[in-house]
A and B are shown apart, each in its own frame.
Chain A
Amino acid sequence: MTRATERDRITLAIMALGGQGGGVLANWILDVANANGYVAQGTSVPGVAQRTGATIYYIEMMKSLATSGNQSDPVLAMMPAPGDVDIVVASELMEAGRAILRGFVTEDRTTLIGSTHRIYAISEKSAPGNGISASERIIDAAKQRAARFIGFDMEQAASDAGSVISSVMLGALAGSKALPFPRDAFAEAIRRSGKAIEANLSGFEAGISLARDPQVSSRTHTAPLRPTSTAGRSLAEAIETMLPESARPIALEGVARLMDYQDRQYAELYLDLLDRIYQCDDGSEDWRLTQVTARHLALWMAYEDTIRVADLKVRASRSRRIAEESRAGNDQLVRVTDYLHPRIEEVCDILPRALGSAILNGKVLRSVLNRFFSGGRHVETTRLRWYFALRFIASLRRWRRGTLRYTTEMDRIEAWLDLAADIASEDSALAIEVINAQRLLKGYSDTFERGFARFEAIQQLARGLRGKPDAASRLRTLNEAALADEEGKAFDYALAEECNDAAA
C-alpha cells in the first residue's frame, strides 16, 4: 500500500483498561494539541468496556492551516487503521501486546509507549495451577515490531510518585518527544484540567524522567539460606555432605520450613526420607528426582492442619505485615478479622488419633458435634479472646505427632515415596512424575479432597504404566490435565483415554 511519507497528521491510540483513566489521558492530549496549533479529534467506545474490559481511545490531530477561507475542515478518522498509527500508549503489558496483534504497531512509524506491569485477565487468575502468560514474549515483540519502544512499570512509578498511571503515561509521552509539543505544554494541560494538579504533576515528572532513562528492574535472586542456629548449622552440614549440589538449595528451604513447622527431629525425618529417594536416583538430569522430591516432600510434610494455620495467624510477623499493607497512620487503629471455617473433620484432625477417628466414625457423636462446626466464624484476632484461642491451638504443635492427621499424612507419604523409589530403579522419569503429582494436593476441605482423589488416581495409573515406553510423558499429561479445570473435565477425559489404552 502506498502512503504519503510526509504528512502533517498524527494518529495516536490509547489502549487502556476500565478505571485506568484512559479518558482523562485522552482529554489531556486533546487539550495539548488544540492549544498548540493543531486541530485534534478524539473518539472512544465506552460502555461495558468501562467495567473490566479493554478499550481504545483514538486521537487524530492535524496542523491547523492559516484560515484561507476556502480550505475546509480536516476530515479525521474515527478509528485507527492498521499500519497507520504513529503513537500507541498502552496502560498494561498485555494491552501493548493486543495493539501489536491488531496491527497498530509497525516498524516504520510507531512509537510504542507501554507500561510493563501486569493486570491479570480472568483466564490467568482462575486457572487451578499457573495460568499466567509469558511477559517476556510481549516485551520481545514490542522491541521488534515498534519503531521505538519505551517500556517501564508505570503503575509502580505512579505509586512511588503518589499519583495515578494516567499522569505517568502523559509524562512518558512528553518524555518520548513523539509529539511536537514542549513538555511545559503537557504540564499546562494538567494545570488547566484543574483536578489533583499536584499529584498529577508529580506522576507526570516521574513519567518524563523514566521515559528518558527507564530503570531496568533487576530481578533479585534470593541467596541460598544461611543457618542461624546450632541445629540449623548441623542440618546444613548434613545436606552438604549428603546431597548433590543441585538439590541443596531446595533441601535447605525444606529443612528450614519443617523446623519452623515442627522441630529439628521433624527436619531430620525429612532428610532421611529424602535420602531414600536419593539412593534410588540414577543422577540423570542433574539429580532431578532428588530435586523435585526435596521440594514436594517438604511441602507435604508441612501440610496445613489447624495447628499450622493457627500458628501462622498469631505470629508477630503477620501483624507487622498486615499493619504495613493497611497503610494505616499512627493515629489510626487496625483491627483484623479472620474468616475461618473449621469443620468437624479439621477439628478431629488435631485430636489424638483414637479420639479423632472415634468421633469421625461414630455417627451419633459426629452429627451432634457437627452442629457446632457447621457455620463459618468471624475471628477477630486482634481481640484477646480470639488471640488466646488461636494461640492455644498453635501450642498443640508439641503433640502433633499424636494427632489423627499426622498418622494419615505419614502413611500417605510413605506409600507415595515407596512407589517412587520402586519405580525409580527402572524409570526415573516416571518416578519424577509420581513425585510431581504432589502439586495436586492443595487447599482445604473439598478442594483438598478433590485434589487428593486425582492424586490417588495418578498414583494408581503410574503402577499400570510401569515398563511402557512413554510412561513418563503420559503421566505428565495427566498431571497437567488435573490442574486444567476445577470440575476435572480435562482430567476425566485424559484418564478415560489412558484406561482405554490400558484395556486395549
Chain B
Amino acid sequence: MAERSFAKEVEKLRLADGETFEGEGILAVTKGLLQAGVAYVGGYQGSPISHLMDVFADADPLLRELGVHFEANASEAAAAAMLAASVNYPLRGAVAWKSVVGTNVASDALSNIASGGVTGGALIIVGEDYGEGSSIMQERTHAFAMKSQMWLLDPRPNLPSIVAMVEKGFELSEVSNTPVMLELRVRACHVTGSFVAKDNVRPAMTVGEAAANPKRDTNRIVLPPANFAHEHEKIERRWPAAVNFVRDSHLNEWFGPERDEIGIIVQGGLFNTLNRALELSGLSDGYGSAQLPIYCLNVTYPLVPEEVTTFCRGKKAVLIVEEGQPEFIEHELNTMLRRAGIDTCIVGKDILPRAGEYTGQVLCDGVATFLDKWSPERAPDRSMPAPTDTELAKEVPPRPAGFCTGCPERPIFSAMKLVQRELGELHVSADIGCHLFSILPPFHIGNTTMGYGLGTAGASAFKPAGRRAVAMMGDGGFWHNGLTSGIGNAVFNKDDTVTIIVDNGYSAATGGQDILSSRADNPRRKTKNPIERAVRGMGVNWVRSINRTYDVTAMRDTLKEALTSREAGPKVIVASSECMLNLQRREKPLRARAEKEGRRVVRDRFGIDPETCTGDHACIRLSGCPSLSVRQNPDPLRQDPVTHIDQSCVGCGNCGEVSHAAVLCPSFYRTRIVSNPGAFERLLDSLRRRIIGWFQMQHERAIAARAF
C-alpha cells in the first residue's frame, strides 16, 4: 500500500475533450500519456517520480479499460529494457524514474535502445532531483542525452506546457526513431495548475496484439555490423529528422521584443524563475511580457542551429541560463556561432554560478550582472542584501531528516551503537533507503554509500583478519540488485562481511510501494516471497531472521554473534518489522472502528517519570525518536531539561527496550490502555485498584506525616 493514495485524483484522468483538468504535475503527465494513446507504461519509484508510479498503480483499472499495460518494474534497468516493445512495433510506451541515479542504473538498456532505435514512440520521464529537494549526487541527465543521442525535453513548468511536451515527445520519437527523455524538476512534478483536457485515446495496437504477431528485424539489434550502421543512422538520419521536427512544430518558444542588442536563452524548466528575476528587476511582468528577447528551450537537446543563429545574429551578447555543470548548452552555442561566423558574446557560467540550484536570488543577481556589463541603462539598482544575522543563525538548529516515530529501523541502529561500545567502532557500508538516516545524529553510523542495493558490494574490499565489516541493505535495494551484486558476490568471493537486510515490508523511502517480500496481499502482484529463502538459495549458510526489531537485546546479541562467529562466509541478518507509517495508516482506522463497535482494543504508549529522570538524555542519543523529547524540568532544584514522551508516541517500545539493553535508568514505563475490557478483566482491575489504592493511601499519609 503506497503512502499516498491517488484513488480519488485518478478519476480526473477520465476527463473528456474540452473539460478542465485541475491538479498536480505528475497527474497531468499521466493524462497526457493517455491522450497520446500510450500502449504501455512502467518505471521504478524514487523521488520525485514515486508519485507518478503511484498514480499509474492507482489508475490501473482505467489503464486496463483502455488496453494499456502497466508494469511496476524491478529496477530502472528493467524499465528501460521494457521499451524494447517499441523497437519493432508501433507501440507508444513510457517509463519513469528518478534521475540521475535511475538513468545510471538504466544506462545499459538505454544505450542499446538508443543505438537500435525505435518504431513506436518511446518516452522516458525523468524526475530531475536537483537542488534543494535532492537527496542524491548533483549531476545532469543532459550528458546521457548527448552521449547516447536521445532527445531531452525540459518544458516550461506549467501544466499546459508539460502535457503538450508529453504528446509532442511521442511524435518526435517516432519521426526520428529515437527515444525521448522528458525532464521534470522536483517542484514541477508537484506544481498545481490546470489545462484543457482531450479525450483519452486507445492505443492503435496493444502489447497483446503485437506479441501475437511477432516481427523481427536484425538491423535493429546491437551486433556487428548493425551497430556501426546505427551510428551513421543516428547522425545522418535521426538527428536531422529531430531538428526538423523541433523547428517545424515550434517546440521552443520566444518571448519579448524581436529586436534588441542583448537577449537571454533559457532552459524551459527555469523560465518561470527567470521571468520572476526579470520582473523584480522591472523588465517583465507577471504574464511573461519580457522587455528583452528570450529564447526558451523546451527542447534542450538537440539544439536547432537556425533558431540559435537567428536569435543571436545582431546581438552584442546573449546570456545562457543553464543549470548544473558542465555547461553543455553553452559549449554548443559557442560552437554553432563560430561555425556560422557570428561574433555574439555568449555569457553564461562566467557570471552565473557553476554549482548549485538556480534559485530566484541567483538569477536576480545573474541578470543584474549581465545587464551591468551589456546594458547598464537597464540594470536594476542593487540594494545590498541584509547581512545574515549570525547571532540568530546560532539559535536556529538544523533539522536533519531522521527515522519516523516508531520506525522499526531505529532499534537496529540502537543495537549497533551498543555493540560498538563493546567491540569498538565498526566499518559500516551504508545503502540507500530510510536506513541511511543512521549516518545523521544521533546515531552517526555509516562510512560510505555507493548506490541502491550496493551496501554489501560496498564492503567487499574489506576482508580484514580481525574485525568484520558491516553492510546495510534495505529490502527495496535487496530486490533491486542487492541479491546478486551483494549477496551473490559475497558468497562467490567468500566474504566474511555481516549484512543486515532491513525488511520493513515495502519500498518505504519512496512512499511504501509493495515489493516481492511485502507481507501485504496484492491482487495484481505476487508478494510474500521471503528474503531469507532467497538469501539461502544464493548459498549463504549463516542467516538469522529477527521478526521483531524492537527487541533491542536480541538485535544486539545477534549482531554480536555475527561479528564474532567462527563460521566462514557471509553472515546475513534479516531484520523484519513493518514500516510504522504504513502500519499506522492501515491499523489506525481499523482500531478506531473496532473501538466504536465495542470490541476490546489495546493501545500502548510510553511515559517517563520526571522525578527519576536526571536529564542526561542518554536515551535520546540511543534513539532519536521524534516523540522522545525534552521539556523544562518541573523540579525547581534541577536545571537541565527533563526527557518526556509526547502524544505522538505509537507505543513501539523501542525506548523502553533500549533503556533495558543499555541499562540506562528506571524512568521508562508503558501505559496500556484497554478499551471495552471484558467483565472479568474489569472485575480484576477494580479489585487490584482498590487494594493498591488502600495501601497507597497509607503510604501517602506516611509521606504527609514527614513532609515539610
Stretch of A76-84, A400-408, A425-433 lying at the B interface: A76-84
* Distance of A75 from chain B, by nearest CB (Å): 4
Kindly state whether residue B248 has any CB partner on chain A within 8 Å.
no
Contacts A77-B273, A125-B629, A341-B663; is A1 near B383 (CB within 8 Å)? Answer: yes
Query: Which residues of chain B are near A80, meaning CB under 8 Å?
Result: 360
A80 to B699, CA, bound (A): 62
Whether B403 pairs with A336 at a CB distance below 8 angstroms is no
User: Which residues of A sit under 8 angstroms from B699, Cβ to Cβ?
Assistant: 314-316, 391, 394
Q: Are B392 and A341 in contact (CB under 8 A)?
A: no
B133 interface contact, C-beta 8 A = yes
Write out the residue numbers on chain B whose beta carbons fall within 8 Å of the beta carbon of A42.
Answer: 190-192
Q: Report B-chain residues with C-beta under 8 Å of the C-beta of A46.
A: 47-48, 133, 190
CB–CB B385/A103 < 8 A? yes
Contact with B along A56-99 (1 / 0, CB 8 A): 00000010000000011111111111111000000000100110
A51 vs B405: C-alpha distance in the bound complex, in angstroms?
9
- Name the contact of B397 in the complex, choosing from A78, A123, A326, A486 (C-beta under 8 A): A123
Interface-lining segment among A174-182, A209-217, A440-448: A440-448
Say if the beta carbon of B639 comes within 8 Å of chain A: yes
Query: Would you call A41 and B615 a contact (CB within 8 A)?
Result: no
Q: A315 to chain B: closest CB distance in Å?
A: 7
Which A residues touch B620, using CB under 8 A? 122, 125-126
Interface residues of A in 312-335 (CB under 8 A from B): 312-319, 322, 325-326, 328, 331-335
- With both chains docked as a complex, state the minimum distance between the C-beta of A171 and any C-beta of chain B, in angstroms: 21
Cβ of B282 within 8 Å of any chain A Cβ, yes or no, is yes
- Whether, in the assembled complex, B591 has its beta carbon less than 8 Å from a beta carbon of chain A, the answer is no
Judged by a CB distance under 8 angstroms, whether B640 is at the interface is yes
Q: Shortest CB–CB separation between residue B372 and chain A, in angstroms?
A: 13
Return chain B residues, CB-CB under 8 Å to A228.
Answer: 704, 707-708
Segment of A250-258, A353-361, A363-371 in the binding face: A250-258
What 0/1 readout, one digit per residue, does chain B (401-413) give for beta carbons within 8 Å of chain A? 1111000000000
Which of A336, A394, A447 touches B616 (beta carbons < 8 Å)? A447
Contact residues in B for A141 (Cβ distance below 8 Å): 389, 392
Instruction: Please tell me if the beta carbons of B707 and A229 are within 8 angstroms of each other in the complex.
Output: yes
Asked if A337 and B708 make an inter-chain contact with CB atoms under 8 angstroms apart, the answer reads: no
Chain A neighbourhood of B190, CB < 8 A: 42-46
Interface segment, A200-208, A382-390, A491-499?
A382-390
B286, B676, B708: which contacts A74 (Cβ < 8 A)? B286
Task: Check if B5 is an interface residue, CB within 8 A of chain A.
Answer: no
B7 lies within 8 A of chain A by Cβ: no
Whether A453 is near chain B, meaning CB under 8 Å from some CB there, is no
B396 near A447 (CB under 8 angstroms)?
A: no
Q: Once the chains bind, are B692 and A133 in contact (CB under 8 Å)?
A: no
Give CA–CA (A232, B132) in the complex, Å. 62
Q: A residues within 8 A CB of B272?
A: 75-78
- Complex Cα distance, B23 from A34, in Å, reads 12
B217 at the interface (CB under 8 A from A): no
Q: In the complex, what residues of A have CB within 8 A of residue B705's CB?
A: 229
Shortest C-beta distance, A338 to chain B (Å), equals: 5
The distance in angstroms between the C-alpha atoms of A100 and B661, with both chains bound, is 43
Cα A97 to Cα B399 with chains together (Å) = 13
Residues of A1-23 whose CB lies within 8 A of B = 1-4, 7-9, 17, 19
Name the contact of A79 in the complex, choosing from B360, B639, B671 (C-beta under 8 A): B360
Assess whether A51 is in contact with B663, with CB atoms less than 8 Å apart: no
B286 touches A8 (CB 8 A): yes
Q: Give how many B residues have a beta carbon under 8 Å from the other chain's beta carbons.
A: 126
A119–B631 Cα gap in the complex (Å)? 10
Q: Are A103 and B393 in contact (CB under 8 A)?
A: no
**Are the C-beta atoms of B187 and A333 separated by less than 8 Å?**
no
Contact with A along B641-673 (1 / 0, CB 8 A): 100000010000000110111111110111111
Contact (A52, B707) CB under 8 Å given A8-B286, A41-B191, A445-B663: no
Contacts of B669 in A (CB 8 A): 322, 336-339, 381
Would A315 and B673 be within 8 Å (CB), given that A124-B397, A141-B389 are in contact? no
- A30 in contact with B187 given A260-B708, A325-B607 (CB within 8 Å): no
In the assembled complex, B681 has its CB within 8 A of some CB on chain A: yes
With both beta carbons as reference points, the residue of chain B lying nearest to A72 in the complex is identified as B287
Residues of B within 8 A of A257 (CB): 637
Instruction: Verify B703–A315 contact, CB threshold 8 A.
Output: yes
Which B residues between 260 and 286 are near A, CB-CB below 8 angstroms? 271-273, 275-277, 279-282, 286
By Cβ-Cβ distance, the 6 closest A-B pairs, closest first, are A81-B360, A376-B660, A45-B133, A256-B708, A121-B397, A316-B696
Q: Chain B: residues with CB nearer than 8 A to chain A?
A: 22, 47-48, 132-133, 135, 157-158, 160, 185-188, 190-193, 271-273, 275-277, 279-282, 286-288, 359-361, 364, 368, 380-383, 385-386, 388-389, 391-393, 395-404, 434, 437, 440-442, 509, 553, 605, 607, 609, 611-612, 614-618, 620-621, 624, 626, 628-630, 636-641, 648, 656-657, 659-666, 668-677, 681-682, 685, 688-689, 691-693, 695-697, 699-700, 703-708
A residues contacting B by CB (< 8 A) are 1-4, 7-9, 17, 19, 30, 34, 40-49, 51-54, 62, 71-84, 94, 97-98, 100-101, 103, 106, 119-130, 132-134, 137-138, 141, 222, 225, 227-229, 231-232, 235-236, 250, 252-257, 259-260, 263-264, 267, 295, 298-299, 304, 308-309, 312-319, 322, 325-326, 328, 331-341, 343, 375-376, 381-384, 387-388, 391, 394, 439, 442-447, 451, 486
9 A-B pairs besides A74-B287, A75-B271, A387-B692 with CB distance below 8 A are A46-B47, A77-B272, A100-B392, A101-B396, A125-B628, A129-B640, A332-B675, A442-B615, A444-B665
* A and B contact pairs by CB, cutoff 8 A, 23 listed: A41-B191, A41-B192, A42-B190, A45-B132, A48-B401, A48-B509, A49-B133, A75-B288, A84-B360, A97-B392, A103-B386, A126-B441, A129-B640, A132-B641, A222-B636, A255-B708, A304-B612, A316-B693, A322-B607, A334-B672, A335-B672, A336-B670, A486-B621
